[in-house]
Structure 1
């Protein structure tokens, strides 16, 4: 077995867990559990204790072991107990730290309270078992010497009926390892022996070879809990690992082993149906969000497609999936979306078949908002097959992508649904941004002010919608027809890229992004006072005020700008501009009629 190099703090923590287990096993102490003092011997699951072993054993499980072997930082530790529940062990650990045995030990001299902590162990939190929220076993949480620890007993699972929520009971290390999603997450570090334990016999090999493999036959693993299908994809994309052929075969319905093609197709359908029926949409969203926020979203999308899962994930859930309608445009194929995802990744890493100005892409590559902007763009790209699709919601048709986010993935409205919907809408507003398209017949508007108003309408810093991101996504949408069999046609792509680049450079040269986001010179009260108009017309008038600002920002001194804007606005209004005089009549609503009668 390979060796884990522990930091000083980790080494002391493991020594503490070992010492506490030995004290518990040898001294048979008592602690208060649910208001009653009970001895370890009364709480211990004796049936699992073998001759010569400690009556209480502790192992660090799963992700921490994997990450330590990969030499990655890992701060959250899951401590698995052999014969005690997590909460009960945490109570005994607290008692050990207060005992004379601990204070007389050499460990006590080294294990001082962590920085900012009043003691070695913090308050112990107890998370009750709640099967309806996928919390199948009681867990305890605590900070021990500044490190976050979860305590839970080794367990085995038994599934009943159609539920993906198992019946949990105490188990052996082997049973606990076999119930996990993939082999590299099923490793243990035994704090007593200082050794890694690989009960599946594949964990270390798969970690070294970069393979995602289930501890049991994938059909068994996925039938028990279909969520593990998505977790396999997530971990494969996170680490850049290869998915084991058996997983591919069962999820794609391919004959393998002694299974016929007909049997394989049936198993595939059962697993896909189980994923839709057994797994909550919240869990869908958690896994997909980790994929698209992770280090390799394009690989995650490719795997979802290859495994036949793309449509299951990125489509409104039943029964809305049967009510999707195309709104008068061509369907975006799944492969075109994947090609777009690869192009986006190549642009971010500077290896695309064409280059864009650094000033355009830099804010998407680096900076405090870069990752958040990328996440939204990955969602917009993943949902490209739904770009021109709508579904009926409350007697109106809504973009199917927004419904997928809110109903299918249960992600937030403000941080995901609204901004991704805005990107989808902005792609149409910015489509074919030739400068001549912004010329206008309205004498009060100019090409410059039209572009500035468009930019203002698109950019939303609070939602992390930048012009750079919206313009890039619009360009990617415009390039969709250029993709054929996964490759781009340069003759098709070049003029499109040039058009978008020219638009970006024009915005930069005219400083339109800053001008578009400036605060309006006149507020609503000033406009109403100047024009003696009704307030309901403000939403039509305000854009003209902003247009004047954009056009005159560098021409009028700051102290004169407000007065000149008011003078221009009055002149335009009196000459019949902005809103035609015949349309300035206020509609006689029921409320207004009552006011007139009074």
Structure 2
């Protein structure tokens, strides 16, 4: 229900008293203390406001109530008629749907921040309406009880609505499947807040804020200004400041006018809230939180409904919105994946339009494309995001891999992307299943030599790299490593794989990400080869014989100063083993297993779990592919039952393999220091050793001996090296 004039006068008086109190309290404190000292008073002010507007808590005003509200006189002298700046809209609303303000639970810091902004507005004699725009409003609404009732996500294991192996009957344009790795950090609060201004530029308000702080005897805040760049779809000038713990972007409401032949605005001006809302990418991102009134404003008339129904839609006709900024096609996919929303049918049709693909390729920088892709893979539904890119025909634009394919082109890009999606989906689903029935090696977190172990379910960074690796592995396997055309490039840069080139050159991702993804892919191939060669059988023998290599951390300060973090102790069937002289065939076989598995672990390092998951997932995906190629039909449940049995067989093989890796002390081997450094070797053990390849051979021999003789002492190693290289003594 709209506030009447008496309520508004009451709020005005309360706010005046409140700002006076905060001004007095902050007269000799820092910015942080201004926010802190105002927090308690801010809570009382907000509570008094909420008590007055209690009736508007859950239900926005009806159309009759909105029509009965007085027209708000615009103080903005910069604006023109809205009809010319909003293609497809004949008349923009003069009043928004509003409400839900009291339902939003502000933190004390947020309350104090908004109070400070209102103080600046009042003390510097501004008529500005301050509105929080975009994602902050959307996420705050989704956290309220009213909207949460519409978005109960079924977590893994609570209920399965579709068969694990069921294929979609038609291309999916939204939520697909029921598995999602839910973000457990529910208490995280946004630290980036966008403030939209209706009568000035962002840098002008930033100057007023500093003017107020200076007047109060406070330190001013540095202001960063990001200039507009219409050619790259950057239409707004933004002033950025860090106020307390928040990064605030101040920007004016915008209105644009276009020539018929161009999507670059012919005229930019400060607009009304309605004009700005209709120019935003999505209706759910076009909601405003009016800092002055404490209410949420829905100028498009669709934001509340689309947020409630879980729909990603655009305020204007979709093709207009996407051509305005083609990156919005990718943003639509990202929000569908992040929020688990469906995409509006008209938006789907527009995103498939060839003109959108062309504009995305020509108008949007590769950095922005790569950034959106990275955010998709960080979302709760990376599988749905990649599926949408494929079904919207945007995948070739995001991943331009045509250049990297072999000249004969025996494999199409569509086939590679489909295989990548299947492998990504299998990896994601298997990891989701492990939340509820984790295998033994997922429960254990043993590591040696100071290595830090993180399970994939808690390691967001490793999961993100795993999703890249899973989706791109078919491309890696089918594209040759080509020599660099630039003769100045040497070493790794000269022999980068297609995946590394794609990530660095086309998607502008950090080199460290590309190298990590490549390590995961290569190690997963190594693990697959080891298991297929019978290492799973060796692992079973190791477990049955209870062969264990246990790491004991050093407590001796002298050892630590010498770089020795601990030692290894070997046992078999409960008895101590001296690995330097042990000749039991079972032990010897276990050490051969250790030798074979150590090399890929040394190369992949802490990302070994991601590589192993990728190897398991590829085995399961290949198994399912084999079933679909059978010449006869296996009916329904029988198909599922047989496939599930074989999947469990794959999982058990890898469980034994991975548990044996842990039990033989291989986790952390990438951080194991050599027993003898190069100087010691050359001065007291092998004095005649030459430089170059011979020295490298000796160091490699030392590394191999340490792997197969865990816990053996330096004296045994010296004897071995002298017997192996007598010519250098």
TM-score tier after normalising by the smaller chain length = 0.7 to 0.9
Q: Distance in 1 between matches of 2:437 and 2:265?
A: 50
Pair 1:379 & 2:462 matched: no
Query: Is the partner of 1:387 in helix, strand or coil?
Result: helix
Written as runs of structure 1 = structure 2, the 5 A alignment for 1:336-347 is 336-347=419-430
| Preserved contact between residue 336 and residue 483 of structure 1 (Cα < 8 Å) | no
1:534-587: per-residue Cα shift (whole Å, max 9, x none)?
A: 222233332321221122224x3xxxx2222121112123499xxxxxxxxxxx
Match of 1:429 in 2: 526
1:568 aligns with 2:568: no
Residue 223 in structure 1 maps to residue 323 in structure 2: yes
Alignment partner, residue 359 of structure 1: 442
From 176, 183, 195, give the equivalent of 1:79: 195
| Residue 349 of structure 1, CA deviation | 2.5
Deviates more, 1:7-16 or 1:234-243: 7-16
What secondary structure, in the 3-state scheme, does the structure 2 residue paired with 1:59 have? strand
Match of 1:551 in 2: 708
Q: Does 1:420 find its partner at 2:517?
A: yes
SS at match of 2:255: strand
Identify if the C-alpha distance between structure 1 residues 332 and 384 changes in structure 2 by more than 3 Å, giving closer, same or farther: farther
Matches within 5 A, 1:127-138: 127-130=226-229, 135-138=234-237
C-alpha change, 1:534 and 1:352, in structure 2 (3 Å) is same
Corresponding residue to 1:457 among 592, 599, 608: 599
Deviates more, 1:343-352 or 1:325-334: 325-334
CA pair 356-552 structure 1, distance change in 2 beyond 3 A: same
- Is the 2:333–2:389 contact (alpha carbons within 8 Å) kept by the matching residues of 1? yes
- Provide the rounded CA distance (Å) in 2 between the counterparts of 1:533 and 1:324: 48
Alignment of 1:284 with 2:369, yes or no, is yes
In the alignment, the residues of structure 2 paired with residue 282 and residue 141 of structure 1 have an alpha-carbon distance, to the nearest angstrom, of 21
Evaluate the alpha carbon distance shift between residue 328 and residue 159 of structure 1 in structure 2; reply closer, same or farther with a 3 A threshold: closer
Match of 2:622 among 461, 476, 481: 481
Distance 1:191 1:294 in 2: 30
Q: Does the 8 A contact of 1:298 with 1:341 survive in 2?
A: yes
Quote the offset at 1:460 in angstroms: 6.0
Q: What count of residue pairs does the alignment treat as equivalent?
A: 501
Q: Check 1:8–1:570 CA distance in 2 against 1; reply closer, same or farther (3 A cut).
A: closer
Alpha-carbon RMSD? 3.6
Alignment partner, residue 299 of structure 2: 199
Distance 1:464 1:548 in 2: 20
Report the equivalent of 2:691.
535
Once the two structures are TM-superposed, the CA of residue 9 in structure 1 deviates from its matched residue by 4.0
Match of 1:67 among 110, 125, 139: 139
Q: List per-residue Cα deviations over 1:513-553 (Å, max 9, x = no partner).
A: 34564211122334445442322223333232122112222
Cα separation, partners in 2 of 1:88 and 1:517, compared to 1, 3 Å: closer
Which of 468, 474, 481 is the matching residue for 2:609? 468
Deviations 1:379-421 (A, max 9, x none): 001213313232645157753222211122110011x100111
**Aligned-partner Cα distance in 1 for 2:373–2:240:** 26
1:13 aligns to 2:98 (yes or no): no
Matched, 1:408 2:506: yes
**Change in 2 beyond 3 A, CA 1:418/1:12:** closer
SS of the equivalent of 2:194 reads: strand
CA 1:147–1:394 in 2, change beyond 3 Å: closer, same or farther? Answer: closer
Structure 1, residues 442-482: CA drift from partner, whole Å, max 9, x if none? x9x96555544554433469x86432222221222233322
By how many angstroms is 1:163 displaced?
Answer: 6.9
Counterpart among 147, 151, 154 of residue 253 in structure 2: 154
Q: Give yes or no for contact 2:520–2:608 (8 Å, CA) kept in 1.
A: no
State the SS of the aligned residue for 1:122: coil
* Residue deviations 1:141-198 (CA, integer Å, cap 9, x gap): 2233543321111112356767778864322212211221111111112222322221
Task: Find the aligned partners of 1:280 and 1:214 in 2 and give their Cα distance.
Answer: 22
Q: Distance in 2 between matches of 1:162 and 1:388?
A: 42
Query: Structure 1 pair 348/496, CA: closer, same or farther in 2 (3 Å)?
Result: closer
* CA spacing shift, 1:336–1:153, aligned 2, 3 Å: same
- Aligned residues of 1:388 and 1:399 also touching (Cα < 8 A): no
Deviations 1:53-97 (A, max 9, x none): x4x322221112112212273332211111111111121233245
Structure 1 segments unaligned to the other structure (5+ residues): 27-53, 104-117, 253-267, 577-598
| Inter-partner Cα distance in structure 1 for 2:411 and 2:698 | 33
Unaligned runs of 5+ in 2: 1-59, 61-98, 144-187, 446-453, 486-493, 539-582, 630-638
- Once residues 511 and 242 of structure 2 are traced to their aligned partners in structure 1, the CA distance between those partners, rounded to angstroms, is 33
1:503 corresponds to 2:592 = no
**Alignment CA distance shift 1:322-1:472 (3 Å):** closer
Give the 3 Å change call, closer, same or farther, for CA 417–360 of structure 1 in structure 2.
Answer: farther
| Structure 2 equivalent of residue 51 of structure 1 | none
Corresponding residue for 2:14?
A: none
Distance 2:412 2:673 in 1: 38
**Residue of 159, 163, 173 corresponding to 2:273:** 173
Deviation at 1:271, TM superposition (A): 1.4
Partner Cα separation in structure 1 for residue 214 and residue 435 of structure 2: 61
SS at match of 2:190: coil
* Whole-angstrom distance in 2 between the partners of 1:133 and 1:541: 56
| Secondary structure of 1:466 counterpart | helix
Answer yes or no: is 1:311 the counterpart of 2:396.
Answer: yes
Q: Is the Cα contact below 8 Å between 2:233 and 2:325 reproduced in 1?
A: no
Matched residue SS, 2:296: strand
Do the aligned residues in 2 keep the contact of 1:61 with 1:188 (CA within 8 Å)? Answer: yes
Question: Quick one: distance in 1 between partners of 2:218 and 2:413?
Answer: 64
